[in-house]
Amino acid sequence: MKLFEHEAKDIFRAFNMPTPSGGVAMTPKEATERAAEVGKPVVVKAMVLAGKRGKAGGVKFADTPQEAEKFAEEILKMRINDLPVEAVLIEEKLDIEQEIYAGITIDRNERKYVVIGSAAGGMSIEELAEESPEKIIKMYVDPSLGFQAFEARQMAIAMGFKGKQINQLGSFFLKLWKIVEAYDVELTEINPLILTKDGKFYAADARLNIDDNSLYRHKAIIEKLKREPVDQNERERLATENDMAYVELDGNIACICNGAGLTMATLDAISLYGGKASTFLDLGGGADAERVEKGIEIALMYPKVKAILVNIMGGITRCDDVARGILAARNDGDITAPIVIRMVGTNEEEGQEILKKAGIPFLKTMEEAASKVVELVKEVA
């Protein structure tokens, strides 16, 4: 469960972590009021569970309450990563000396939590790792001991801080760890953690993801927030409601398969032939015609999709049911992009006959299908 920035900061403050003064606004008028309460220049930030808000225009600086109202009106009309902005956070604009990164996540290869810090904050940790990996400091947490105060200070020293700033920054890392322990956190980060010109540290940002499997232990959070997880766009929500595994990627070929392993192999095959997948959509086992049609409908809702590859290996999923679903999608006008079909297994002859009678071509190997769909995308482009 991902928390909005203001929700995460409420938890940060409960652990005595300094944050900029301010509040949430649902309307431009409320933004004016929040800015007036701050009484200083403010930052207006889109409250949306998506990264890179600044690059999308979802973070603006305002010198007056009237300017904050104007920016809030603009931001509240936005969609970022296809998610609507329904609130903005109005906070004091800090006098920045340095931007720092501080975070804790799980390293599944090491099977440990890892504390991450960098004196070069303000950019995504992924970009920083790629461009300047030497600037990232990591410390693994011994699960039997937890993260210790002396280790938090060692992180600050390794990041280049001296004097009283060692304890101040170390305190942030230690408090992050206590939050991780208290709330079964998968990822928490502050980017940027601000060092102001008068020598104080503030959590200017806050990210907090709680393990969904632990939510039964944190019902009080859900009750307090008065909401269920809301980080899904419309396509993801529909896939979840229909018990489909759905992940959006950066390419333009939608992969609709049955089984996670087959779907991953299909993504690899597309990459092998020079294409790039836009969609991982696993129909699951035993998909009937209605489910197949729904999967195609969901996949084509994603604007990046230029072609579809349906790759089915029939077991409990029957190829004749898949063929009927594809035919229904075509007859209902759901198929608005080129489609390539490969299906083998249970009732494959019956399924292929249905497609043949309908004039819908199909291929017999995944390699042929992947090569064909990549070729079709190039033709469309």
Catalytic residue at 113?
A: no
Give DSSP secondary structure letters for 179-240: HHHHHTEEEEEEEEEEEETTS-EEE---EEEE-GGGGGG-HHHHHHHTS------HHHHHHH
As a whole number, the mean pLDDT across the chain is: 92
* Least confidently predicted of 78-82, 106-110, 160-164: 78-82
> Among 80-84, 103-107, 135-139, 364-368, which is the least confidently predicted range?
80-84
CA distance 94 to 202: 9
Name beta bridge partners: 130.
none
Q: Which of 101, 113, 202, 302 is catalytic?
A: 101
Q: What per-residue confidence (pLDDT) applies to 226?
A: 64
pLDDT digits (tens, 9 = 90+) for 219-228: 888 777 765 5
Whole-angstrom Cα distance, residue 309 to residue 372?
9
Give the DSSP letter string of 113-164.
Answer: EEEEEESS-SS-HHHHHHH-GGGEEEEE--TTT---HHHHHHHHHHTT--TH
CB atoms within 10 A of CB 127: 10
Residue 202 contacts residue 196 (beta carbons within 8 Å): yes
The pLDDT of residue 167: 96
Amino acid residing at 315: G
Map residue 312 onto helix, strand or coil.
strand
Active site residue 234: no
CA distance 37 to 268: 54
What pairs with residue 2 in β-bridges?
A: 209
Pair of tokens at residue 7: 């929700």
Please give the C-alpha separations between residue 277 and each of 247, 271, 272, 297, 374, in angstroms, as whole numbers.
Answer: 10, 8, 11, 17, 10
The C-alpha atoms of residue 207 and residue 7 are separated, in whole angstroms, by: 9
Counted residue by residue, the chain has a size of 381
Alpha-carbon gap, residue 6 to 225, rounded angstroms: 11
What is the CATH code of the structural domain delimited by 21-93? 3.30.1490.20
- Give the residue ranges of DSSP H helices in the chain: 5-14, 28-38, 65-75, 125-131, 149-158, 164-183, 219-225, 234-241, 260-272, 289-299, 319-331, 348-357, 366-380
* Residue 228: predicted pLDDT: 54
Between 33-42, 95-104, 127-136, 173-182, the lowest mean confidence (pLDDT) is in: 127-136
Average pLDDT over residues 246-257: 94
| Domain ranges within the chain, ordered by starting residue | 1-19+95-231, 21-93, 234-376
pLDDT tens figures, 49-72? 887 888 889 999 999 999 999 999
Give Cα 123 distance to the centre of its chain: 16
Q: Considering only the top CATH level, what class is 1-19+95-231?
A: alpha beta
| CATH code of the domain made up of 234-376 | 3.40.50.261
Task: Determine the average pLDDT of the residues in 283-293.
Answer: 91
- Please give the distance of CA 213 from its chain centroid, rounded to a whole number: 18
**% of the chain exceeding 70 in pLDDT:** 98
185 closest CA partner among 141, 125, 138 = 141
Q: What is the enclosing helix (H) or strand (E) of 24?
A: strand 22-25
Q: Which residue among the candidates 91, 189, 293, 348 is catalytic per the annotation?
A: 189
Q: What is the pLDDT of residues 323-369, one digit of tens each?
A: 999 999 999 887 889 999 999 999 999 999 999 999 888 998 999 99
